[in-house]
Amino acid sequence: MSQKRPTVSRKAVAFLLVSLVLLAGVRRMVTWAAPDRTNFTGSEYIRNGTFTVGLDDWGWDNMTTTDNVGASTDPVLVMKTFLSQGPVNVWQEVFLPTTTTAATLSFDYRLVPANSYAYLGAALGVSVFKTDANFNNPQAITGWWVVPSTTVDTGWQHFSQALTAQEVAQTQAAHQAGERVFINLQLQLGSQDNFQAYIDNVSLLLSGTMTYPSLSGALAYRGVDSNNHYTIGWMSPDGSSRYTLWTHPTAGGGKIVGLSWKADGSAIAFASDHEFGYSPFHTDIYQVDMNGQVRRLTNPPAHSEIQAGGYSKGTVTGRVWNNSTRNLTAISVYVQGADSPVSLGPLAPDATVNFTVPNVADLGAGKGQYVVFIWMDGNCASGLYQVPGALVDVQAGGSVDAGTLSFVGNDCTQFEAAEPAWKPDGSMVAFAMNGVPQKVDMAGTLGSLFSTSALGLNDIAWSPQSGDALLYTANPGVYQTTAGDGTGTLLVDAAATGVGAQHVAWLPDGSGFIFTDGLDLYRYTSASGQIQRLTQLYVYRSSNPNALDPLGALAVSPDGKYAVFERRSPSVVNGRDLWMINLQNPVELWPVTTDGRAAQPDWLAGTPQQPSPTPTSTPSPTPGVLYRVYLPLVLR
């Protein structure tokens, strides 16, 4: 039963106020064919309610953290404030279903004096209120007291409160008005008391109905199979009917960076490291067609293509001179077309070693085949060095002497092709190579895409309206330029707006674009130059520079009304999931996948060319996801 809230003086009482902030937002699932309705009962709508990932998904101010209390494996929310420092708040947006018919809020709590005494004690309360879609004009709906007053450690207690029919109706009305939903926790203190509040197992169980909009096209995605191998495949926009096209051969340690549909639906471009050691690059750009056949677009043909090609073979001999100051702990030599690299052992500075590479495929008369050194020393674990000008014309059934090849290896640069973007006419693929814009045509010819003074290029997107116009993200923001041109125009300046950019996707009509800074989503409108914040997710980056951002790649639906984006999974350690947002009403946000095995989406406007492999048996998402386990995270 709800209770009338007592009047409490800020100076007289230390209290923890837990507020269910109703800023209503629709969370609709997506179906493949037509709108549908699903009734559900008691589904969880809180993310990271156990605080396993610190404060991820929770906004906060002042002295708020997470800590292990009572057990080293059981982190809880810890809210602290001292003397007259002021209130402490923690909040989370809740993405409501289409219709809510019942709601129950619960959590575990403990109020603890920070000193051995307490002058005035503490009180614990819960309230419900709403704001508009822009987080303004808060208005209370209802409230309860959990603990009227205490001056001692309460020990761990459990609170559970079902909203009344009237409160649910008020909540539903707020939702229908396009407002948002938050849970807010607030700790206040008197002028002489020091208190801590511990909170754990926050839960909001909702019953109601979700209406699923109809979406067309197909989502390419990077998956993870049951043996922990990355996969390339596609799915329906509702997360069902998943098809696996190709599987990375390395379990747990492979790399796939970026996916891009060919506009006719015949293939997906991707960057992968599965042929490291068989190319001058650490990662190359590949395409996989709808039959699962793979071609290497950069440095072709692929090693797998050569092995299956029935080529005649010869032998290549030569010598390696370590023309550097590096004391190599290991060096191998690979000649394009060889069955495998040949290990030559360690090599001291100025030393020379002979090599023989057998079983090298002859790729054609007069065809020069490159030579690559794979090396390591005390400062570099996986160096690659392509010998300049060393092109060997392999003789089938014979032996060719490549002469003395000089190893320089000035640095440990990782030659990593990443984030491919297929040009709409299918003639080439743009990609980033160590932060530099590059392109490759269908014959494997490499070249510069455009020149830029911007540093650290990350993502490229071709215009759907103009074949040569493109967007790219680099320091300090989002640029627009033309293939073959220069740096172009800086449209989103992080220094001026405070908003950076990692990934970008055009709106299909060319009127603007959607981008992410790794934490939230934004819309840029070309006509006005205005930036609209679409989300406020309160996800946090790890202090580990190699950790992935909470939000990753994104893509826009063919009609421009929705966007799918990659988000850190709340249910699988190191997992990623796909989420959908309604761009016309950004408070509508829902998960497309919930198994932590989908990332790097791209959205095809049409239908993938058939035939396709048999769909995998991955379950489609269910309404009201239980958000309980998050991957470990170190907060900034």
398 belongs to a structural domain: yes
636 belongs to a structural domain: no
Residue 121 region by backbone torsions, left for phi larger than 0, else alpha for psi between -120 and 50, else beta? left
What is the per-residue pLDDT for 176?
83
Q: Name which residue leads in pLDDT, 516 or 631.
A: 516
Peptide bond into 341 cis (omega under 30): no
- Same-domain check for residues 56 and 163: yes
Stretch 346-364: mean pLDDT: 98
Q: Residue 113: what residue type?
A: P
DSSP 620: P
- Same-domain check for residues 297 and 340: no
DSSP 223: E
- Same-domain check for residues 23 and 120: yes
392 CB-near residues (< 8 Å, 6+ apart): 316, 335, 336, 360, 368, 369, 370, 371, 400, 402
At residue 276 the predicted structure's pLDDT band, cuts being 50, 70 and 90, is very high
- Same-domain check for residues 387 and 301: no
What is the per-residue pLDDT for 32?
34
155 to 215, 374, 618: CA distances (angstroms):
50, 60, 43
436 belongs to a structural domain: yes
Stretch 83-97: mean pLDDT: 79
Question: pLDDT tens for residues 551-585?
Answer: 999 999 999 999 999 998 876 778 899 999 999 98
Distance CA 340, CA 491 (A): 47
Residue 133: give the domain boundaries. Answer: 14-32+41-209
CATH number, domain containing residue 137: 2.60.120.260
236: its two tokens: 């329906």
401 CB-near residues (< 8 Å, 6+ apart): 316, 317, 318
Stretch 32-44: mean pLDDT: 71
290 belongs to a structural domain: yes
- Same-domain check for residues 527 and 581: yes
486: its two tokens: 């220069």
233: its two tokens: 């495949």
Query: Which 3 state secondary structure label does DSSP give 65?
Result: strand
Chain centre distance of CA 168: 34
What is the per-residue pLDDT for 548?
73
| Predicted confidence (pLDDT) at residue 160 exceeds the cutoff of 60 | yes
Question: pLDDT tens for residues 186-227?
Answer: 887 655 567 788 999 999 999 999 888 899 999 999 999 999
Question: pLDDT tens for residues 360-413?
Answer: 999 999 999 999 999 999 999 989 999 999 999 999 999 999 999 999 987 887
Distance CA 451, CA 422 (A): 19
CATH number, domain containing residue 464: 2.120.10.30
Of 337, 372, 407, the domain-final residue: 407
- Same-domain check for residues 451 and 548: yes
- Same-domain check for residues 61 and 127: yes
241 belongs to a structural domain: no
- Same-domain check for residues 449 and 558: yes
Q: Select from 628, 578, 623, 573 the least CA-distant residue to 603.
A: 578
What is the per-residue pLDDT for 86?
66
Say how many domains are in the chain: 3
Stretch 244-249: mean pLDDT: 97
Question: pLDDT tens for residues 487-505?
Answer: 999 999 988 888 889 999 9
56 belongs to a structural domain: yes
- Same-domain check for residues 429 and 393: no
What is the per-residue pLDDT for 122?
63
176: its two tokens: 């229908």
349 belongs to a structural domain: yes
Task: Give the chain's length.
Answer: 636
- Same-domain check for residues 382 and 457: no
Distance CA 204, CA 29 (A): 19
CATH number, domain containing residue 358: 2.60.40.10
What is the per-residue pLDDT for 14?
36
Residue 439 bridge partners (DSSP): 430, 447
At residue 615 the predicted structure's pLDDT band, cuts being 50, 70 and 90, is low
H or E, element range at 347: none
- Same-domain check for residues 402 and 420: no
SS (H, E, C) 150-171: ECCCCCCEEEEEECCHHHHHHH
Stretch 76-86: mean pLDDT: 73
- Same-domain check for residues 451 and 540: yes
Per the CB < 8 A criterion, the answer to whether 534 and 584 are in contact is: no
> Average per-residue pLDDT in the chain?
85
Of 180, 209, 238, the domain-final residue: 209
